[in-house]
Structure 1
Amino acid sequence: MIAYEANFDGLVGPTHNYSGLSVGNIASLTHSHDVSNPKNAALQGLHKMKALANLGLLQGVIAPQIRPDIRMLRRLGFSGSDRRVLQQAAQQAPKLLTSCCSASSMWAANAATVSPSADTSDNRIHFTPANLVSHFHRSIEHQTTSSILSAMFNDDNHFCHHPPLPASEYLGDEGAANHMRFCDQHGEQGVEMFVFGRYGFDRYQSAPQRYPARQTYEASTAIARLHQLTPQQVVMAQQNPAVVDHGVFHNDVIAVGNQQMLFCHQDAFLDQANIYQQLQHKMGVDFSIIEVPNDVVSVDDAVSSYLFNSQLVTLPNGDVSLILPQECQYNASIWEYIQQLLQAQVGINRVDLFDLSQSMQNGGGPACLRLKVVLSDKERQAVNPAVFLTETLFKRLREWIGVHYRDRLIEADLADPSLLMESYTALDELTYILKLGSVYDFQRV
Structure 2
Amino acid sequence: MKHFEVNFDGLVGPTHNYAGLSYGNVASQSNAHAISNPQEAAKQGLLKMKALTELGMTQGVLAPQERPDLATLRRLGFTGSDGRVLEQAAKQAPAVLAACYSASSMWTANAATVSPSADTQDGRIHFTPANLTNKFHRSLEPDMTGRILRAVFNNERYFSHHRHLPDNDHFGDEGAANHTRLCRAYGEAGVELFVYGRSAFDHARPAPQRYPARQTLEASQAIARLHGLDDENVVFIQQNPAVIDQGVFHNDVIAVGNQNVLLFHQQAFLNTAEVLADIRHKFGEGELHFIEVPTAEVSVRDAVTSYLFNTQILTLPNGDMALIAPTECRDNPTIAHYLETRLRNDTPISQVHYLDVKQSMRNGGGPACLRLRVAMNDEELAAVNPACLINDRQLTRLDQWITRHYRDRLSLDDLRDPALVEESRCALDELTQILKLGAIYPFQR
TM-score, normalised on structure 2?
Answer: 0.99
**1:226-267: CA deviation from partner (whole Å, max 9, x where unpaired):** 000010010000000000000000000000000001000001
> What is the Cα deviation at residue 202 of structure 1?
2.9
Q: 1:230-241 to 2 correspondence within 5 Å?
A: 230-241=230-241
State whether residues 386 and 434 of structure 1, in contact with CA within 8 Å, keep that contact through their aligned partners in structure 2.
yes
Residues in 1 aligned to 2:354 and 2:190: alpha-carbon distance in whole angstroms: 29
Q: Equivalent residue for 2:77?
A: 77
Deviation per CA, 1:262-302: give whole Å up to 9, x if none.
Answer: 00000100001111101111113511100000000000100
Cα distance, 1:325 vs structure 2: 0.2
**2:251 matched residue in structure 1:** 251
Matched position secondary structure for 2:372: strand
Q: Contact (CA 8 Å) 1:305, 1:327: kept in 2 or not?
A: yes
Q: Does 1:373 align with 2:382?
A: no
Q: Which residue of 2 aligns with 1:102?
A: 102
Deviation for aligned residue 1:340: 1.5
Q: Structure 1's 60 and 343: CA in aligned 2 closer, same or farther, altered over 3 A?
A: closer
The count of residues paired between Structure 1 and Structure 2 equals: 444
How large is the Cα RMSD of the aligned pairs? 0.8
Distance 1:343 1:411 in 2: 42
Contact 1:2/1:186 (8 A) holds in 2: no
Deviation at residue 2 of structure 1 after TM alignment: 2.9
* 2:319 paired with 1:318: yes
DSSP-derived class of the 1:224 partner: helix
Q: CA deviation at 1:344?
A: 2.1
Deviation at 1:195, TM superposition (A): 0.3
In the alignment, what sits opposite 1:431?
A: 432
Distance 1:247 1:342 in 2: 24
C-alpha distance in 1 between matches for 2:13 and 2:213: 27
Aligned equivalent of 1:3 = 3
Matched residue, 2:186: 186
Shift of 1:343: 4.7
CA distance in 2, matches of 1:202, 1:69: 36
Match for residue 197 of structure 1? 197
Distance verdict in 2 for CA 1:313–1:180, change over 3 Å: same
Partner-residue secondary structure (3-state), 2:167? coil
Q: Distance in 2 between matches of 1:290 and 1:322?
A: 13
Q: For 1:388-430, what per-residue CA distance to the aligned partner results, in whole angstroms no more than 9, with x for missing partners?
A: 0010000000000000000000001011000000000000000
For residues 346 and 106 of structure 1, the distance between their equivalents in structure 2, rounded to whole angstroms, comes to: 31
Alpha-carbon shift at residue 346 of structure 1 (Å): 1.5
> Aligned residue for 2:154?
154
Displacement, 1:6?
0.2
Contact 1:341/1:348 (8 A) holds in 2: no
Per-residue Cα deviation, 1:124-161 (whole angstroms, up to 9, x for no partner): 00000000000000000011111000000011111000
| Cα distance in 1 between the residues matched to 2:234 and 2:205 | 22
* In structure 1, distance between residues paired with 2:148 and 2:245: 34
The residue number in structure 1 matching 2:279 is 279
Separation in structure 1 between the aligned mates of residue 156 and residue 332 of structure 2, nearest angstrom = 47
Helix, strand or coil at the partner of 1:349:
strand
Distance in 2, matches of 1:181 and 1:203, equals 28
- 1:196, CA displacement in angstroms? 0.3
Is the contact between residue 191 and residue 234 of structure 1 (CA under 8 Å) also seen in structure 2?
yes
The Cα offsets for residues 137-194 of structure 1, whole Å up to 9 and x where unpaired, read as 0000011111000000011111000000000010000000000001111011111000
The residue that corresponds to 1:264 in the other structure is: 264
> 2:344·2:351 contact (CA, 8 Å) conserved in 1?
no
Q: What residue in structure 2 maps to residue 291 of structure 1?
A: 292
Query: Which SS does the other structure have where 1:154 is aligned?
Result: coil
**Offset of residue 342 of structure 1:** 4.3
Q: In structure 1, give the amino acid aligned to 2:304.
A: V
Question: 2:267 corresponds to which letter in structure 1?
Answer: D
SS in structure 2 of the partner of residue 170 of structure 1: helix
Deviations 1:181-229 (Å, cap 9, x if unpaired)? 0111101111100000000113463110110000000000000000000
Q: What letter corresponds to residue 328 of structure 1 in structure 2?
A: C
Equivalent residue number for residue 18 of structure 2: 18
- Identical aligned residues as a percent: 61
Change in 2 beyond 3 A, CA 1:235/1:349? same
CA displacement, residues 80-121 of structure 1 (integer Å, 9 cap, x when unaligned): 000000000000000110000000000000000000001000
Residues 295-346 of structure 1: per-residue CA shift (max 9 Å, x gap): 0000010000000000000101111101000001111111111121245242
SS at match of 2:101: coil
Q: Is the 8 A contact 1:342 1:350 kept in 2?
A: no
2:54 is matched with which residue? 54
Aligned to 1:389: 390
278-287 or 97-106: bigger deviation: 278-287
Which amino acid is the alignment partner of residue 94 of structure 1? P
Describe the SS at the equivalent of 2:90. Answer: helix
The one-letter code of the counterpart of 1:170 is H
Against the structure 1 CA distance between its residues 203 and 76, is the aligned structure 2 distance closer, same or farther, given a 3 Å change threshold? Answer: farther
Counterpart-to-counterpart distance in 2, 1:297 and 1:421: 46
Query: Does the 8 Å contact 1:325/1:365 carry over to 2?
Result: yes
Determine the structure 1 residue equivalent to 2:36.
36
Name structure 2 gaps, 5 residues minimum: none
Residue identity in the other structure for 1:365: G
Unaligned runs of 5+ in 1: none
SS at match of 1:143: helix
Cα distance in 2 for partners of 1:299, 1:339 equals 19
The answer on whether the counterparts of 1:10 and 1:62 sit within 8 Å (CA) in structure 2 is yes
CA contact (8 A) 1:114 1:372 kept: yes
Amino acid at match of 1:18: Y
Show the 5 A alignment for 1:108-119. 108-119=108-119
Assess if the C-alpha contact under 8 Å between 1:309 and 1:365 holds in 2.
yes
Single out whichever of 67-76 and 278-287 deviates more from structure 2.
278-287
Q: State how far apart, in whole Å, the 2-side matches of 1:438 and 1:77 are.
A: 27
Residue pair 1:8, 1:59 contacting (<8 A) in 2 also: yes
Q: Which residue identity lines up with residue 159 of structure 2 in the other structure? A: F
Distance 2:362 2:90 in 1: 24
Counterparts in 2 of 1:425 and 1:272: CA distance versus 1, 3 Å? same
What CA deviation, in whole Å up to 9, does each residue of 1:17-59 have, x standing for no partner?
0000001000000000000000000000110001101111110
**SS of corresponding position for 1:100:** helix
Opposite residue 306 of structure 1, the aligned amino acid is Y
2:341 equivalent in structure 1? 340
